[in-house]
Amino acid sequence: MHTNQTLKSYRGRFAPSPSGELHFGSLLAAMASYADARAHQGQWLLRIDDIDQVRVVPDSEQHIINSLEQAGFEWDEPVYYQSQHIADYQQALGNLTAGGLIYPCYCSRKQIKALARDNIYPGICRETAIPDESADEYALRIRVPEQNLSFNDLIQGHYCQQLDKEVGDFIIFRRDKVFTYQLAIVVDEYLAGISHVIRGHDLISSTPRQMFLQQQLGFATPRYGHIPLAVTPDNLKLSKLSHAKKVTTDLTTLVLAARILGQAVLKAEDYQHQQDFWKHLFQIWQLKQVPKMEKIEIMY
Ligand SMILES: [Zn+2]
């Protein structure tokens, strides 16, 4: 891997996990990332976040891709699969380990719960060395500094987090031998040269962790923008609902999504074809019009 990469041109992405159908909440994230890329004459990529095979629902990846195609999304490169990049995650873990930041953690969930304050890992195993050969089960954690990490979110504005107090040493490689989301996506964004990450608000609190990993690995930090999370009127995140309805891809739904994202699109019947809608959206798209809210209620 090269380091100190500079991000010159706009490259955005949408990265669903294949754990169900494309629902309305993920359509919002797909649309916001797509329209922002196209409004900047940028490229837009599709990534399937399938690192956690336990959560993968068979066929859902194909369903998501079909829904996106039917809705008129066009990605510029072949689909990127996390499951094909295990060697890259391994290499990044090697670099972090060489930097002396990684330690094995043998604690059970129960032990941590008994000792942790606010669910923050209290560093019990911090001084433990990584064994050369061991049949023992352990996770690998990264030591975080006493450091404030902040960034200017393109939608939500200033965001700041003190990693040691608010997150604690976090897991990079799980006990069941799976790389964690945090490490995987930092490597993914780097390998794909992603310059802008537009995604749901549920991920804003993991952004400082990702920035910390980027700093340790010598990767450039993309710009981030977090759109409001779609919730049901009883405050349930759509993606957490097992029965979250598969999104329809007709013009009425696309227009509704664009309006929720604050964009001044026309009525569905004023667009003759789906392409007319997209063309218009790219022309008028303004990220600044996306509501600066954590969540937004969807009757869907
Ligand atoms: Zn531990």
DSSP label of 121:
B
How much is the mean pLDDT over the chain? 92
* Cα distances (Å, whole numbers) of residue 277 to 27, 159, 232, 287: 15, 33, 26, 17
Instruction: Quick: pLDDT tens for 84-130.
Output: 999 999 999 999 999 999 999 999 888 888 887 778 898 899 998 88
Give 105 Cα–ligand 1 centroid separation in angstroms. 4
Distance 175 CA to ligand 1 centre (A): 11
Look at residue 4 in the predicted model and tell me its pLDDT. Answer: 41
Alpha carbon dihedral 256, 257, 262, 264, in 10-degree steps, equals -50
> Where does the chain have alpha helices with state H?
24-39, 60-71, 86-98, 109-115, 163-166, 181-191, 207-217, 251-260, 274-284
Gap from CA of 145 to ligand 1 centroid (Å): 17
Confidence of residue 1 (pLDDT cuts 50, 70, 90): very low
Exposure of 11 in the CB half-sphere (CA atoms within 13 A):
19
Question: What is the band of 2 on the pLDDT scale with cuts at 50, 70, 90?
Answer: very low
Among 23-32, 97-106, 192-201, 242-251, the minimum mean pLDDT is found in: 242-251
Q: Which residues surround ligand 1, an ion (CB under 5 A)?
A: 105, 107, 124-125
Task: Give the Å distance between the CA of 121 and the centre of ligand 1.
Answer: 8
118 with 250: CB under 8 angstroms?
A: no
Ligand 1 center to 131 CA (angstroms) = 14
* Residue in 55, 23, 59, 57 with CA at minimum distance from that of residue 241: 23
Please tell me what DSSP assigns to residue 33: H
Q: Phi and psi (nearest 5°) for 72? A: 95, 10
Which pLDDT value is given to residue 240? 57
Contacts of 243 (CB under 8 A, 6+ apart): none
C-alpha 49 – ligand 1 centre gap (Å) = 27
CA–centroid distance, residue 106 to ligand 1 (Å): 5
Question: Tokens at residue 170, please?
Answer: 């976090």
| Rg, C-alpha atoms of the chain | 20
Please give the CATH number for the structural domain made up of 11-297: 3.40.50.620
User: For residue 206, what are the β-bridge partners?
Assistant: none
Contact 88, 187 (CB under 8 A): yes
pTM, to two decimals: 0.93
Query: pLDDT digits over 48-84, tens only?
Result: 999 998 889 989 999 999 999 999 999 999 999 999 9
End-to-end CA distance of the chain: 44
Residue with tokens 């309305």: 24
DSSP state of 73: -
pLDDT of residue 3: 41
In sequence order, what are the beta bridge partners of 148? 162
Residues 6+ apart with CB under 8 A from 252: 268
